[in-house]
Amino acid sequence: MIRKVRNVLAFCILLTLPGTAPLVCAQQAKTKIKASAVEVKMIPSDELLLPAEFQVSLYENLIDQLWKKRVFQTVYRDGDQNARAAADLTTLECTVIKLKKGNETLREVTTIAGATSMTLRCEFRDNDGNSLWVREITGKVRFFGASLKATYDFAKKTADLVDKDFCS
């Protein structure tokens, strides 16, 4: 008798689960941040001594990946006068938190040592200066490739995260 009641109860629970799954997913869905334009600020190298080639590569790769994802209708460079005319402009500011410049030769020979890693804090702000989105993103190159490939990895990860959280 107890066994039959337990089976009926389990059967009823299994029947209700497929109906509740869409509700749970709908509740977990985040609302995306709406912005049609972004101005990417130059990445400063004040606190950490960031080599010039890393600074330029970070900036250029970030702009390139944001264009490729097509999250924003327009991507402006730092200081572009046309950015002021954009209706819902957001500003992206990145700050280098950590940089571990590896050794390319050591990385290719051992595949264990010599990795390059960098962590940046990325923050999107609206026209009023309010923070919309803040993430710490790490770019790495572990096995093969030049140390500058870590800047590409960072830019790609950033663009992917922005694509998930923003809409134009």
**Could you tell me how far CA 150 lies from the centroid of its own chain?**
14
Per-residue pLDDT for 86 more than 50? yes
Q: Residue 25 — φ and ψ, nearest 5°? A: -65, -40
90 and 125 in contact (C-beta within 8 Å)?
yes
Helix spans in the chain (H): 2-28, 52-69, 104-110, 149-165
Look at residue 153 in the predicted model and tell me its pLDDT.
Answer: 94
pLDDT tens-digit series, residues 140-154: 887 666 778 889 999
The DSSP code for 16 is H
Q: Which fold has domain 30-167?
A: Double Stranded RNA Binding Domain (3.30.160)
Enter the pTM of the model: 0.75
What is d(CA 96, CA 48) in angstroms, rounded to the nearest whole number?
Answer: 7
Note the pLDDT tens digit of each residue in 24-76.
Answer: 333 334 688 999 999 999 998 766 678 888 899 999 999 999 999 998 999 99
Task: Give, as one character, the DSSP assignment of residue 42.
Answer: P
Residue 148: name the closest of 139, 161, 158 by CA.
Answer: 139
Evaluated on CA atoms 158, 159, 160, 161, the torsion sign reads positive
Per-residue pLDDT at 134: 96
Length of the chain: 168
CA distance 125 to 153: 23
Asked if 159 and 68 touch (Cβ cutoff 8 Å), the reply is yes
H or E element in which residue 118 lies? strand 116-125
Res. 129: pLDDT tops 70: yes
User: CB 86: neighbour CB atoms within 10 A?
Assistant: 19
Taking Cα atoms as reference points, which of 94, 113, 109 lies closest to residue 54? Answer: 94
